[in-house]
Amino acid sequence: MSNRRIAVVGGGSQYAVGLAESLIDYGQDLLAGTTVVLLDIRPEHLDIVHKYAADLARTVGVDVKFEKTTDRRRAFDGADFVLTTFRPGAHEQQEQDERVPPKYGLQGNETVGIGGIFMACRVVPVLREICADAQELCPDAWIINYTNPTQHVGDAVRRISDLKIISLCDGYIGASPSLTRLLGGHPDDITIYPGGTNHATWIMRLTVKGEDGYPLLRKRLSEVSQEEIERLYAPPPPEQMEAPYDEMYKQFIPQYQFPFSLRLFEIYGLLPSPRYYWLYLLEQDKVIAAQRSGHYVTMAGFYMKHRRPRTFEGLDQRFQRALQNLRASRRKGGGGHGDLAVRVMAAIANNLGETFVVNVPNRGAISNLPYDGIVEVAATVDRQGAHPFAMGQLPKALVGLQNSLILSQELAVDAALSGSRSQLLQAILAHPLIHSVEAAEKAMDELLALQAEWLPQFRK
């Protein structure tokens, strides 16, 4: 038994229920004896998640204790892990990130373009407080980050503290089920090894049942027509979707736009991942045209309309399903969005040396990207942290875009830490999606005014 302690920043969020299920799952063995402290600024949400988690742990009979608090210092005191999964501001601010830039012919998203830069600027003031408390109260703890934009967070934490951090994103996971539609088999047969920057990675190695997957993919593509591919990846009928097409943020359509990924494979010889974010980067005109149409729904807008009203809906039924699954056997990836973070913590705590996709300093893993840049790569994880695989070089045709994304991210963290308007404008202009100084400055000033409450560093 251990007396391990995990503090969850954002313990009352929409993802916290699935996270609790994963913690209970792994509490059956690898994380037995753990105390999980749920921390959130919303007591009403915290109460719901805590009751669900504590009742489920007690009913399953695992040695995992759940506590709740709104006091960060209490949560961090003696923690071995600090899991960050919080959103500074609300989805209303995220929707501003998405709605304002298209007015000026630009794009925004919580990780892409000017929207991603503003999300980083809202995150950094909170990170300063988190790191200051953690440095004092749990200096040996691992920060396992799930807060977007994940590569900005990884860079910021290493600049403002001596804390150990692994930043995570599970966006790459969708590549395997997308490929099985074309190649057959089961998603578990496919292993991908991405390389690049978060939400802009390339699958540098691909295996299918241990065999090199790229020759198999080329052979399969030679056997099917473009029309067959389009039919294979057509969206499901409207009655099978949780919202009508014209109200559906298309990221949530299974397999959406995978044919575009195959088109990029034809051009570059590597598959991109995740499938939907490459539309922002390489089909900007189409995206902006959609954003300016009368039918576009932002990611934040979709969430606020279709997900937020049902955040804790159906918990009784979910409890029974989770109870049945947990009593039956260990569920691979069974806890939903937070399961990856729990698996990483279990690998560190038990020195397992398992392979995960992480966001960490490059240190030569991708030999033609900046040595200290934050990259997303496959790595083994043990008690010493993440050990990235040597992935070699990205094709020369892709290096320029990746370097621009890394540079813009680093400049964005500069600005978020300094509160300098001029540095913020430089970060925005360095992003490869920006094509106009005037447009960038107008969008920046509007967002600074709208989000002043969440951007205290820029008030001066």
Name which of 58-67, 180-189, 243-252, 413-422 the model is least confident about: 243-252
Tokens of 19: 């996270």
pLDDT of the residue at 446: 98
> Within a 13 Å sphere around the CA of 158, how many CA atoms are in the beta-carbon half?
16
Are 253 and 178 contacting, i.e. CB atoms less than 8 angstroms apart?
no
How large is the average pLDDT for residues 32-50?
97
The answer for 415, left when phi > 0, alpha when psi is -120 to 50, beta otherwise, is: alpha
Other C-beta atoms within 10 Å of 57: how many?
A: 21
pLDDT of the residue at 294: 77
pLDDT at residue 245 above 80?
Answer: no
Other C-beta atoms within 10 Å of 173: how many?
A: 15
> Within a 13 Å sphere around the CA of 406, how many CA atoms are in the beta-carbon half?
24
- Exposure string for 69-103, b = 16+ CB within 10 A, e = fewer: beebeebbeebbbbbbbbbbbebebbbbbbbbbbe
- 203 or 285, higher pLDDT: 203
Question: Among residues of the chain, what percentage have pLDDT more than 70?
Answer: 97
The β-bridge relationship of strands 64-69 and 34-39 is parallel
pLDDT at residue 254 above 90?
Answer: no
Q: Bridge partners of 8?
A: 38, 83
Crossing angle (nearest 10°) for helices 396-418 and 150-160: 50
| pLDDT tens per residue across span 359-385 | 999 999 999 999 999 999 999 999 999
pLDDT of the residue at 399: 98
pLDDT at residue 219 above 80?
Answer: yes
Query: What is the H or E stretch that residue 385 is in?
Result: strand 385-388
In 3D, which of 2, 377, 9 has the Cα closest to residue 201? 377
pLDDT at residue 333 above 60?
Answer: no
The answer for 396, left when phi > 0, alpha when psi is -120 to 50, beta otherwise, is: alpha
The answer for 236, left when phi > 0, alpha when psi is -120 to 50, beta otherwise, is: beta
| pLDDT tens per residue across span 121-165 | 999 999 999 999 999 999 999 999 999 999 999 999 999 999 999
| pLDDT tens per residue across span 273-322 | 998 899 999 999 988 998 888 778 888 988 898 888 888 999 999 999 99
pLDDT at residue 329 above 70?
Answer: no
| pLDDT tens per residue across span 92-110 | 999 999 999 999 999 888 8
pLDDT of the residue at 160: 98
Question: Among residues of the chain, what percentage have pLDDT more than 90?
Answer: 80
In 3D, which of 17, 5, 15, 82 has the Cα closest to residue 54? 17
pLDDT of the residue at 242: 72
Rounded Cα distance between 152 and 123, Å, is 9
Domains contained in the chain, CATH given: 5-90+102-167+320-345 (3.40.50.720), 402-458 (no CATH)
Are 89 and 454 contacting, i.e. CB atoms less than 8 angstroms apart?
yes
pLDDT at residue 253 above 80?
Answer: no
